[in-house]
């Protein structure tokens, strides 16, 4: 009898130990699964967009103090579509290359002209038509490029307009006062100087001109002939083809489902037009 009782006790102890081991294994599996989930969330793509916060309507500070703009909304929509995190990072425009190279941002999305920059970046497909134009005050005697001779013309440092004035339109720029365009850190201040009479003209992107003309009725006019015609695209670090292609394909999807047109309508009063959208058309 004692032997039987001892046998039963031993069996019970064995079963208890086995149960504990099984429970331990189950607990270990749960912990592994949680770790996997944490790793998956850590691996989630973050689109860190470098933009000029003084570049309406593509990127600027809204009346509520928050960053807003057509390109930022477009970038947010791309992230939402892909399940990515979105981070808008205001930058000094002339520091954009260093920030991209160092990984502080992983794209430049801010009315970014691709022509002439192809060797320095990997670009998405172009999505918006753009031009470089000249804006003067209403009532000015300047009506064409010849009228800019001896005048003070300003543009943003490291801008597409400056590239054009130092390249294809260098002969025009040579007629400006001082033999070249003056530069400034942002277009808002350039237009403040134009308004005050400190300068005679601003060379800028079509979108900037349309925004300033729309926001200040009767104050500015745009010269009819553009300095150049070009396109906007999203710029990535050279070689980051995978992310560039993902953004391109997502933009096509957003155009197909009507999101792009709605955003163009949202910013229509700022000079954005769906007619200038080129991707997928």
List the chain domain ranges. Answer: 46-127+233-272, 130-230
- In eight-state DSSP terms, residue 125 is P
Cα 14 versus chain centre, distance: 65
Q: What is the dihedral of CA 76, 80, 83, 86, to 10 degrees?
A: 20
* Low-confidence stretches of the chain (pLDDT beneath 50): 1-42
pTM, rounded to two decimals: 0.75
With beta carbons less than 8 A apart as the criterion, state whether 242 and 230 touch. Answer: no
pLDDT tens digit string along 72-86? 999 999 999 999 999
∠ CA 11-14-18, rounded to 5°: 140
Predicted local distance difference test score (pLDDT) of residue 134:
98
pLDDT tens digit string along 138-160? 999 999 999 999 999 999 999 99
Predicted local distance difference test score (pLDDT) of residue 44:
80
Q: What is the dihedral of CA 70, 71, 76, 77, to 10 degrees?
A: 70
At 34 the three-state DSSP class reads helix
Q: Do domains 46-127+233-272 and 130-230 have the same CATH topology?
A: yes
Region 130-230: CATH code: 3.40.190.10
Q: How far is it, in rounded angstroms, from Cα 134 to Cα 152?
A: 12
Q: How far is it, in rounded angstroms, from Cα 60 to Cα 189?
A: 14
Task: Pick the closest to residue 88 from 76, 100, 70 (CA basis).
Answer: 76
Predicted local distance difference test score (pLDDT) of residue 64:
95
Sign of the alpha-carbon torsion through 9, 10, 16, 20: positive
CATH 3.20.20.140 holds for 46-127+233-272: no
Predicted local distance difference test score (pLDDT) of residue 43:
61
Predicted local distance difference test score (pLDDT) of residue 207:
86
* Total number of residues shown for the chain: 281
Q: How far is it, in rounded angstroms, from Cα 11 to Cα 180?
A: 96
Q: How far is it, in rounded angstroms, from Cα 265 to Cα 3?
A: 89
Predicted local distance difference test score (pLDDT) of residue 60:
94
At 46 the three-state DSSP class reads strand
Q: How far is it, in rounded angstroms, from Cα 59 to Cα 190?
A: 17
Predicted local distance difference test score (pLDDT) of residue 280:
86
């Amino acid at each position: 009898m004692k032997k039987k009782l001892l046998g039963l006790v031993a069996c019970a102890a064995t079963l208890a130990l086995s149960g504990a081991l099984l429970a331990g294994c189950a607990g270990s599996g749960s912990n592994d699964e949680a770790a996997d989930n944490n790793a998956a969330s850590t691996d989630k793509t973050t689109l860190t967009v470098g933009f000029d916060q003084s570049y309406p309507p593509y990127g600027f500070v809204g009346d509520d103090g928050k960053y807003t703009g057509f390109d930022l909304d477009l970038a947010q929509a791309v992230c939402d579509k892909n399940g990515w995190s979105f981070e808008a990072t205001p930058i000094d425009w002339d520091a954009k290359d260093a920030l991209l190279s160092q990984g502080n941002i992983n794209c430049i999305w801010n009315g970014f002209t691709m022509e002439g920059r192809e060797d320095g970046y990997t670009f998405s497909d172009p999505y918006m038509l753009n031009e470089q134009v000249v804006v003067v005050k209403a009532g000015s005697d300047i009506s064409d490029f010849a009228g800019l001779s001896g005048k003070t013309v300003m543009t943003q440092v490291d801008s597409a307009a400056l590239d054009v004035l130092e390249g294809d339109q260098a002969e025009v720029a040579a007629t400006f006062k001082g033999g070249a365009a003056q530069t400034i850190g942002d277009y808002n201040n350039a237009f403040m100087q134009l308004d005050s009479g400190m300068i005679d003209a601003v060379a800028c992107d079509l979108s900037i001109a349309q925004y300033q003309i729309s926001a200040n009725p009767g104050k500015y006019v745009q010269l009819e002939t553009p300095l150049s015609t070009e396109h906007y695209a999203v710029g990535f670090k050279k070689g980051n083809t995978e992310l560039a292609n993902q953004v391109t394909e997502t933009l096509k999807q957003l155009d197909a489902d009507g999101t792009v047109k709605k955003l163009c309508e949202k910013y229509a009063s700022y000079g954005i037009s769906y007619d200038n959208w080129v991707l997928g058309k």
